[in-house]
Structure 1
């Protein structure tokens, strides 16, 4: 005996995503578009000439390591949340927040190093682009650190665990995105400097 199919059986179920996650992904797409436009403008403007040659601050290597290490801490924290290991979750979150703050301090010192080399925001487009790249990324990183602090506080209120991972997943996605964005910018600057 054949089962009678109804119209509802033939309709595919839509892919669902939490609205906040969807908004985060849209935001990240806009950030990618902004930085893609800026890097394209950098290449076009560099080809026009009148471009200051200077050495990138060596602290960029250190901050790159810091941002990668912070992502490792955050991923460890996320995996701990999935296992309901709240102690490891908190340790990982504290590590990610501290390293995120260290990255921001490192970015400040990179600007100090640029000023010491007489590379300023005004005067030459090469310096202007570098300050815009690092400043805009730092601004997004500040929002990421705030997000991590919110999640860290939530871990002490027992709001992050294996049955409640949405905020943790969003913070992890955003932080890994910011880390990847920095690595992209740093590699772009190394290759196009």
Structure 2
């Protein structure tokens, strides 16, 4: 009995992602690599000695809470957008922006507290690393706040709703990433300080 072989071309659906989302993920990977390199350098440099010992500003606990609450509000906004509840969406994004700005103000006051403790950007690598960590994170957070403001404006133009979630998904992903990054940095500093 002769068997007949049949070749069936299985057409697989390619994995696709919106190009802007892909670019955002690539950007977040590079940010992770930068902070991984910085935290590694921190550990290596700390083991060499000549390391200034000081207490972290207490305001870091407060700012950590702010970033968590901000992420909560943005997630509420995301769910509101999926349900086409534009009023809740606008309120949620507005609150998330306000808490994000409050976080940045808190970071400024953490620098003031560091100066009061005579921990400066120059003079000892311990202080330098802390300023670089918080400053670099603040720069990314400023970009996140700007992104959220753009999304908020888009909600008033009816460009964010259940049928148009790309921008909202990207903003939510980026904001949660920034919040997680801050919590990682804070825990790293608490454990390695």
The answer to whether TM tops 0.5 is yes
What TM-score comes out, normalization by structure 1 length?
0.96
Aligned mates of 1:18, 1:153 — CA distance in 2? 21
User: Normalised by the size of structure 2, how large is the TM-score?
Assistant: 0.96
Q: Cα RMSD over matched residues?
A: 0.9
Structure 1 residue runs of 4 or more that deviate by more than 4 Å after TM superposition: none
For residue 115 of structure 1, give the secondary structure of its aligned residue in structure 2. Answer: helix
Using the TM superposition, give the Cα deviation of residue 11 of structure 1 relative to its aligned residue in structure 2, in angstroms: 2.7
Could you give the per-residue CA deviations for residues 89-147 of structure 1, whole angstroms, max 9, x where no partner exists?
A: 00000000000000000000000000000000000000000000000000000000000
Q: How does 1:6-155 map to 2 (within 5 A)?
A: 6-7=8-9, 10-155=10-155
Which residue does 2:162 correspond to in 1? 162
Secondary structure of the 1:93 match is helix
Residue segments in structure 2 that go unaligned for 5+ positions in a row:
1-5
CA distance in 1, matches of 2:137, 2:38: 12
SS of alignment partner, residue 49 of structure 2? coil
Where structure 1 has 5 or more consecutive residues not aligned to the other structure, the ranges are none
Q: In 2, Cα distance between the equivalents of 1:173 and 1:76?
A: 13
**Per-residue deviation, 1:12:** 1.5
CA drift of 1:5 comes to 6.7
Rounded to whole Å, the distance in 1 between the matches of 2:93 and 2:117 is 36
Aligned equivalents of 1:104, 1:150: Cα separation in 2: 18
Displacement of 1:13 in angstroms is 1.6
